[in-house]
Amino acid sequence: KKRTSIEVSIKQALEIQFCRNPKPTAQDITQLADQLQLEKEVVRVWFCNRRQKEKRVTPPLVNVSASASNNNNNNNAHHH
């Protein structure tokens, strides 16, 4: 199976989505794939890889709870 190379503009769009929501639902992925005219599988795998990369880059300091993904909206609260 050949590697899909993703264009820079599309990567940027994916990065923005990833910042908003690192764990998109199947529905999110479908919509995103439609918008970017990519295979759903490509989008899904990109997010998986991106999350893995995130783990490597930032060591897991927050083992607070599995619901950490729900705190995305509160990130700004910590900047005093």
Dihedral of the alpha carbons of 27, 29, 33, 38, in degrees to the nearest 10: -140
Secondary structure (DSSP) of 20-64: H-SS--HHHHHHHHHHHT--HHHHHHHHHHHHHHHHHHS-----S
Residue 29 has pLDDT above 60, yes or no: yes
Tokens of 41: 């599988």
Average pLDDT over residues 4-29: 95
Domains annotated for the chain, with CATH where assigned, are 1-59 (1.10.10.60)
- What integer best gives the mean pLDDT of the chain? 83
Residue 4: predicted pLDDT: 78
Alpha carbon distance 70, 67 (integer Å):
5
Sequence-ordered list of residues with C-beta below 8 angstroms from that of 14, at least 6 positions apart, any chain = 6, 32, 36, 43, 46, 47, 50
